[in-house]
Amino acid sequence: MVLTATGPGQSPASKSKRTTKMTREQFRQWLDKIDLNDDGFISWNELYAALLVLGLKFKTWKVWRAMRKIDLNHNHVIDIGKERDLLVEYAEALGYYTG
């Protein structure tokens, strides 16, 4: 599944006639939006909620796997900086957006 860039007010998973593949920068901006409490970290619940909106299958496993690979300091959140960059690279490797 490739995330798509859409018009204002649409989720990335909306089936719109005018969708284009999301770029790396758009994916980074989308990550900022899934930080629901604006603390600068992406928690397990925030990442799960984002995948839920996208309608992806196996959300629990995908979030568990991403956190296990990306949470380098094991504080159960994805931090700004190195961990966020790893999440972007991980999503690109899985084909969730175009580089």
End-to-end Cα spacing for the chain: 14
Q: Report which of 66, 67, 63 is spatially closest to residue 50, judged by C-alpha positions.
A: 63
Residue found under tokens 């796997």: 65
Per-residue confidence in pLDDT tens, the chain, 99 aa:
455 544 444 555 554 444 567 899 999 999 989 999 999 999 999 999 998 988 889 999 999 999 999 999 999 999 999 999 999 999 999 888 877
Q: Per the structure block, which two tokens stand in for 20?
A: 């284009």
* pTM for this entry: 0.75
